[in-house]
Amino acid sequence: MPGFAWHEIDPKRFSLEKGLLKPPWRLVQDKDGRFAWEGGTLLRKKPDAEHSVRLVYPEGYPARFIEARLQPELSPTLNGALGLHVNMDGSICYVTAEGWTPQDTVSDALELLNTWWSKYHWLTGLDLDRHLGPRKQIPER
């Protein structure tokens, strides 16, 4: 990773972020040096519709919002699909640029993502479960 990562520039902020989510969430570091939260799920509206989500701190955080990916990921054929708010790379478009401020944290991102999940999954009747398949357990590290 070129230059300094946000967590090196602002260790106080990194310490705050590390304390915001509780188990089953766990903070991991990817091979590329980025940190991500794994192991948690989106709000449950039905017992059989719980899906894991991965929250990845992007380069440029906190100016850039946290990347969100459903686990398992949606079928690549749905990437960029109008109305689903799934980007071409498979990440979820859950917030507008105006909807994120550098003061927002991972807990704010999760709240926004739960709103997206409710709005675009349950209220519109989109059958994301059909495309996601059954909930996949993320193995312990």
Query: How far from chain centre, in Å, is Cα 4?
Result: 23
pLDDT, tens only, 6-60 = 999 999 999 999 999 999 999 999 998 999 999 888 765 555 556 688 999 999 9
Phi, psi (rounded to 5 degrees) for 139:
-65, 145
Residues 6+ away with beta carbon under 8 Å from 78: 84, 86, 131
pTM of the model: 0.77
* Domains of the chain, start order: 6-131 (3.10.110.10)
**Residues 67-118: pLDDT tens digits?**
998 877 766 776 666 566 778 888 888 888 788 999 999 999 999 988 887 7
